[in-house]
Amino acid sequence: MEISPNMHVAEVGCSMGGNLKPFLDLGCKKIVGIDINENSIKKAELNFNDHPNRKNLTLIHSDIYDIDYRDFKPFDLIFLKDTLEHIPNQELFLNHIKKFLKKDGKLFLAFPPWKMPFGGHQQICSSILNKVPYFHILPKNIYKYIMKLFGEKDSIIKSLLETKETHIHLYNFKKIIFRQNFDVVKSTLFIINPNYKVKFGLKPVKLPFFMNIPFISDFFITTCYYVLKLNLETI
């Protein structure tokens, strides 16, 4: 889609607002960042305090379910990056978020499937566990025991167990978007996440078509990019 100054854009799970900056730099008419973490919103406010287009930006500390879509003009673009896997009941969420979209608007989602090497976000561990792939797939009690054994902080264990509760499989995601009347405009699956270019200096690599095998490919895909639109014929 063409990004123009007339666009209304929103990010759910905006953290400190880094993903909003390009839209603000372009002078998009209305930009909304929403995050459930109050400290993240406060930092975002500081980050953009002196931006010349600050008046175009609204930052909201809230649970998305506490926001009424009728308080906003429908958005041309809503996006979530590495957020969907932290939201309980993704189907309920998508049913809620589509009310904020224009009829011809787009929804962009980027998320890691649960079974990928670090789908549990164990890279935030402080011990050697931050380099151990796949162990997040173990049963909850064993997973928790291993983290305690390696001396992980209770706050880290709590966070990773929450991620285990809210995780999403690619197969389930496809079923959810179908039931919620979304069409896939475009999807790209990566075995080397574009984020890794900044983190590790690695060039992004898309999943080869011959590796795109249901259930099995989830173990190799490090992130999924999806652009969705509403199927107006089924709503």
pLDDT digits (tens, 9 = 90+) for 81-112: 999 999 999 999 999 999 999 999 999 999 99
Q: Is residue 78 part of a domain?
A: yes
132, 221: one domain: no
30, 61: one domain: yes
128, 184: one domain: no
Q: What is the pLDDT of residues 2-18, one digit of tens each?
A: 899 999 999 999 999 99
Phi first, then psi: give them for residue 144, nearest 5 degrees: -65, -40
The confidence score (pLDDT) of residue 232 equals 85
Q: Is residue 235 part of a domain?
A: no
Which token pair is 16?
């400190």
| Three-point CA angle 77, 183, 72, nearest 5° | 30
Please say if the pLDDT value at position 234 is more than 90.
no
Q: Look-up: residue for tokens 């990056």? A: 81
Q: Is residue 224 part of a domain?
A: yes
From 182, 172, 223, select the one nearest 202 (Cα to Cα). Answer: 223
Q: Is residue 2 part of a domain?
A: no
54, 107: one domain: yes
Domain extent, residue 87, equals 8-115+167-230
Looking at every residue in the chain, the average pLDDT score rounds to: 95
Please say if the pLDDT value at position 214 is more than 90.
no
The confidence score (pLDDT) of residue 235 equals 63
Q: Is residue 77 part of a domain?
A: yes
Q: What is the pLDDT of residues 26-83, one digit of tens each?
A: 999 999 999 999 999 999 999 999 999 999 999 999 999 999 999 999 999 999 999 9
Last residue of a domain, one of 166, 182, 200: 166
Residues in the chain: 235
Please say if the pLDDT value at position 233 is more than 90.
no
Q: What is the CATH number of the domain that holds 51?
A: 3.40.50.150
One-letter amino acid of 65 = Y
One-letter amino acid of 29 = K
87, 185: one domain: yes
17, 37: one domain: yes
d(CA 30, CA 10): 8
* C-alpha dist (Å) from residue 169 to 119, 220, 227: 10, 13, 17
The confidence score (pLDDT) of residue 176 equals 97
136, 20: one domain: no
Please say if the pLDDT value at position 157 is more than 70.
yes
17, 94: one domain: yes
* C-alpha dist (Å) from residue 55 to 42, 106, 207: 16, 24, 41
Please say if the pLDDT value at position 121 is more than 90.
yes
> Residue 58 CB: number of other CB atoms within 10 A?
12
d(CA 182, CA 108): 12
Give the dihedral of Cα atoms 56, 98, 207, 170; nearest 10 deg.
Answer: 140
- The average pLDDT across 189-212 equals 93
185, 162: one domain: no
Q: What is the pTM of this model?
A: 0.93
188, 209: one domain: yes
150, 199: one domain: no
One-letter amino acid of 153 = K
One-letter amino acid of 148 = K
Domain total in the chain? 2
Q: Is residue 31 part of a domain?
A: yes
Q: Which residues pair with 206 in a beta bridge?
A: 190
Share of residues in the chain with pLDDT > 70 (%): 100
- The average pLDDT across 174-186 equals 97
